[in-house]
Structure 1
């Protein structure tokens, strides 16, 4: 959602203003002090974001190869640091581009295998039926009176529901990596078109990962050990 919004309202403005970082916008609009404050906040938040990805990479190596978590984290951090220092934004973008195709191919193969193993699409969606949702409300697109939204009911449920949409639609627009990729495109038209293509890919393939997880939960049951859950989530 944020890609679609950015494609319509942000990309052209950012490129024409020749912003290199998201803080260039804050400096241009609100002054140097706001730019410095925003930079400090962004550095702090990116520590957590980066750490989470390093831990996730270590967990994947631990689950698939049996390595200690700490060793996997060190390897992931070392590899990412080396190729980023050597190649900069181009190396990071090129690797993301390759990873996207590998991820999409993997999701397609996993989904095809799951459809075959469960006996078809009807059985697939049967296993993917919502858990702890009142019968008849499985496909509700907003909080219902009986089910609420993730345990929140009434006005609180709607507020959390709206907040979730806002975080999806607006939360990633000020991300530094998104702006850098936008400004690195060869021209404005390419930047806008690539944003919409990326949005279409997110919609098409982004739904497969949670669907695989929901189907695995429905097929394997809720009484899995922590180790089994971790491996299921990774796969």
Structure 2
């Protein structure tokens, strides 16, 4: 039943992309959804852009080892980036009516700078997309027993297909659908585990005080590492095509700005769920989380959760990873 649900979910995603392709008439429709996205599609697209495997697997794993201090980069740095983009860049860039981020460099500095900027902006996405595809391959491997590479191929086909035929319209509509699945799936699992543990209070009482440490110790090296953690996504991702494209796809200047703020708040809020789920899992099934594996949560869900929760959880995982990959 779980396998059938995942197959059905992938098919629904493809169908949504195919339906969205009917809105694509021009290159502007394909690249920027005709600059007509309403606020709920624009905000969900920004939120889903970064809410991927690293947020669910990586952040929760790091949080269990080092507390809040070890997850400054993501989700806190990512939320900071969206906030800063909305405050300082969204309004001005939207009014410039650009198609790509490279166009900005062309207007300000000329063709050569545009070429150089585009050359350096593109390669990082190769590794980032590869990591998401491997994560999807691992999930399919856990659920179905298929080889990881086979899961990667299937995942790549699904994401490439609906992105290719529907462009930004397909991405924004599937991102909205996937964002709902992410929130519902993670929230359902968090509530289930909290109830099994005896309530949220029981979980929080067991948390070591060092887990809530948010600021660095006052020595030069640690302060520099702390600032670097904030800066990697918080500042380093400001000149990125994925954020730029979603902002430029908004239906108006106000929508572009407000979408950044909504996405920042939504990202930071929803990203707390995997951290809390990790704490619950550590309390209930310490033998599972003691293994240094980012697949501890999926394995725990398969072993201890009911079928409806499994469907919601793996649906939320696939949604998170697919939305990031397509972005």
TM-score bucket of the superposed structures, by smaller chain = 0.7 to 0.9
Most deviating of 170-179 and 182-191: 170-179
On the 8 A contact 2:140/2:148 being kept in 1, the answer is yes
On the 8 A contact 2:194/2:280 being kept in 1, the answer is no
User: For 1:7 and 1:173, how far apart are their aligned partners in 2?
Assistant: 10
User: For 1:143 and 1:232, how far apart are their aligned partners in 2?
Assistant: 33
TM-superposed CA distance for 1:140, in Å, is 2.5
| CA distances 1:174-220 after superposition (whole Å, capped 9, x unpaired) | 22121111111111111111211111211211111122124323443
| CA distances 1:106-143 after superposition (whole Å, capped 9, x unpaired) | 1110110011010011112134x24xxxxx54433211
Residues 140 and 224 from structure 1, CA distance in 2 versus in 1: closer, same or farther, beyond 3 angstroms? Answer: closer
Partner of 2:170: 91
Gaps of 5+ in 2: 1-79, 302-312, 314-327
| CA distances 1:34-60 after superposition (whole Å, capped 9, x unpaired) | 211121122211111111111111111
1:18 and 2:97 aligned: yes
Residues 228 and 10 from structure 1, CA distance in 2 versus in 1: closer, same or farther, beyond 3 angstroms? Answer: closer
Most deviating of 156-165 and 218-227: 218-227
Q: Secondary structure at the match of 2:182?
A: helix
1:28 and 2:107 aligned: yes
1:143 and 2:216 aligned: yes
On the 8 A contact 1:62/1:68 being kept in 2, the answer is yes
Higher relative contact order (CA 8 A, sep 6+): 2
On the 8 A contact 1:213/1:232 being kept in 2, the answer is no
User: For 2:121 and 2:232, how far apart are their aligned partners in 1?
Assistant: 16
Q: Secondary structure at the match of 1:224?
A: coil
On the 8 A contact 1:213/1:233 being kept in 2, the answer is no
Residues 232 and 215 from structure 1, CA distance in 2 versus in 1: closer, same or farther, beyond 3 angstroms? Answer: farther
Residues 88 and 214 from structure 1, CA distance in 2 versus in 1: closer, same or farther, beyond 3 angstroms? Answer: same
On the 8 A contact 2:197/2:280 being kept in 1, the answer is no
User: For 2:292 and 2:250, how far apart are their aligned partners in 1?
Assistant: 46
Larger radius of gyration: 1
TM-score (norm 2): 0.63
TM-superposed CA distance for 1:225, in Å, is 7.2
Residues 32 and 214 from structure 1, CA distance in 2 versus in 1: closer, same or farther, beyond 3 angstroms? Answer: farther
Q: Secondary structure at the match of 2:212?
A: coil
Residue correspondence of structure 1 range 114-193 to structure 2 within 5 A: 114-127=193-206, 129-130=207-208, 136-144=209-217, 154-193=219-258
Partner of 1:150: none
On the 8 A contact 2:203/2:279 being kept in 1, the answer is no
User: For 1:94 and 1:76, how far apart are their aligned partners in 2?
Assistant: 18
TM-score (norm 1): 0.85
User: For 1:188 and 1:140, how far apart are their aligned partners in 2?
Assistant: 38
User: For 1:67 and 1:34, how far apart are their aligned partners in 2?
Assistant: 45
User: For 2:125 and 2:300, how far apart are their aligned partners in 1?
Assistant: 24
